[in-house]
């Protein structure tokens, strides 16, 4: 049994770690938020997430893999070794307890938390920001993170009682985007809104009862400015103090008979409306002329 205090390299001989190996047992505890918060670490599972994590220097603390997976993904094992990241062979049973998916693909990385303070994220002068305020469902939060990345957002803020961005389901739903954008955790959503406006961003709150129609805002050229979008939970929406604090309360138009959109769809429509407006100076200015006074 190798000493749990030292990482093993691929070229080391001893047998794979089991679920009882102390380092595997310790890593497994990162499924619990309490242990993630206490250690500042989380798990990223599967080759895609591991590859993304390894692109950020210093992020990965250790890589666990079954012999078959490490053989299948020799490039990742080699990249980890080059970066002085311990690579540890584990049994199928061990990967089973480290991974949360039914068919784990044999690789799990222990990573350091990567969130940055809001002021540091805002110092990069982002033009598109997504703020998740009170989103408790980790799959929803991860999906909005992924969509925000796709739409070109540079910063995603997890505010208030929003789910932990390092929740396994959120990490998986983000499909690597957790590693692409500046992730911020903030306890007070109201302070976040104040800081975003102080940084020159227009703050738009999405709500089914908003008085501004998304298409009207786009036609009026009002989406071309640097913008932060606030998204609330599907069940409860945004708290009133946040919609009040925003520069506008925006509804996505409902053309059919659906009563609402789900969160992922609404966020996609809003974020892509901003992405298009910010990249279309011609449309922004020509459309302005067609706006009713």
Q: How far is CA 266 from the centre of its chain?
A: 17
Q: Measured from the CB of residue 130, what is the shortest distance to its own copies in angstroms?
A: 11
Closest CA to 231 of 257, 197, 208: 208
Q: Measured from the CB of residue 218, what is the shortest distance to its own copies in angstroms?
A: 8
Q: Could you please report the per-residue DSSP string of 250-283?
A: EE----SS-S---HHHHHHHHHHHHHHHHT-HHH
Which CB, 38 or 291, lies closer to its own copies? 291
Q: Measured from the CB of residue 204, what is the shortest distance to its own copies in angstroms?
A: 16
Interface positions with its own copies (CB under 8 A): 143, 146-154, 173, 175-177, 180-181, 215, 218-219, 252-262, 264-269, 272, 275-276, 279-280, 282-283, 286-287, 289-290
Which CB, 87 or 224, lies closer to its own copies? 224
For residues 204 and 107, is the Cβ–Cβ distance under 8 A?
A: no
Q: Measured from the CB of residue 236, what is the shortest distance to its own copies in angstroms?
A: 16
Which CB, 3 or 286, lies closer to its own copies? 286
Burial of 121 (0-12, 13-18, 19+ CB in 10 A): buried
Which CB, 198 or 254, lies closer to its own copies? 254
Which CB, 181 or 230, lies closer to its own copies? 181
Q: Measured from the CB of residue 290, what is the shortest distance to its own copies in angstroms?
A: 4
Which CB, 10 or 265, lies closer to its own copies? 265
Q: Measured from the CB of residue 101, what is the shortest distance to its own copies in angstroms?
A: 14
Q: Measured from the CB of residue 105, what is the shortest distance to its own copies in angstroms?
A: 14
Which residues make Cβ contacts (< 8 Å) with residue 248, sequence separation at least 6? 202, 204, 205, 210, 211, 212, 217, 222
Which CB, 120 or 288, lies closer to its own copies? 288
């Amino acid at each position: 049994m190798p000493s749990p205090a030292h990482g093993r390299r691929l070229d080391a001989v001893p047998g794979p770690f089991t679920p009882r190996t102390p380092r595997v047992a310790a890593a497994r505890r990162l499924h619990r938020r309490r242990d993630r918060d206490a250690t500042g670490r989380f798990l990223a599972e599967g080759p895609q997430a591991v590859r993304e994590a390894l692109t950020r220097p210093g992020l990965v603390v250790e890589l666990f893999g079954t012999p078959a997976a490490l053989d299948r993904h020799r490039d990742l094992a080699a990249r980890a070794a080059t970066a002085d990241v311990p690579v540890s062979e584990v049994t199928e049973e061990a990967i089973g307890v480290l991974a949360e998916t039914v068919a784990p693909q044999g690789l799990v990385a222990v990573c350091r938390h990567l969130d940055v303070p809001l002021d540091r994220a805002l110092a990069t002068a982002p033009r598109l920001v997504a703020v998740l305020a009170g989103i408790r469902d980790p799959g929803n939060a991860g999906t909005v993170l992924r969509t925000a990345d796709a739409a070109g957002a540079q910063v995603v803020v997890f505010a208030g009682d929003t789910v932990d961005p390092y929740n396994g389901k959120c990490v998986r739903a983000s499909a690597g985007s957790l590693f692409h954008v500046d992730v911020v955790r903030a306890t007070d959503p109201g302070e976040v809104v104040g800081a975003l406006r102080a940084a020159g961003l227009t703050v738009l709150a999405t709500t089914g009862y908003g008085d501004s129609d998304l298409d009207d805002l786009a036609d009026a050229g009002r989406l071309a400015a640097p913008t932060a979008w606030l998204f609330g939970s599907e069940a409860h929406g945004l708290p009133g103090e946040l919609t009040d604090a925003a520069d506008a309360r925006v509804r996505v138009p409902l053309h059919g008979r659906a009563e609402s959109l789900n969160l992922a769809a609404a966020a996609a429509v809003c974020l892509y409306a901003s992405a298009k407006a910010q990249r279309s100076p011609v449309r922004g200015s020509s459309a302005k002329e067609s706006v009713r006074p």
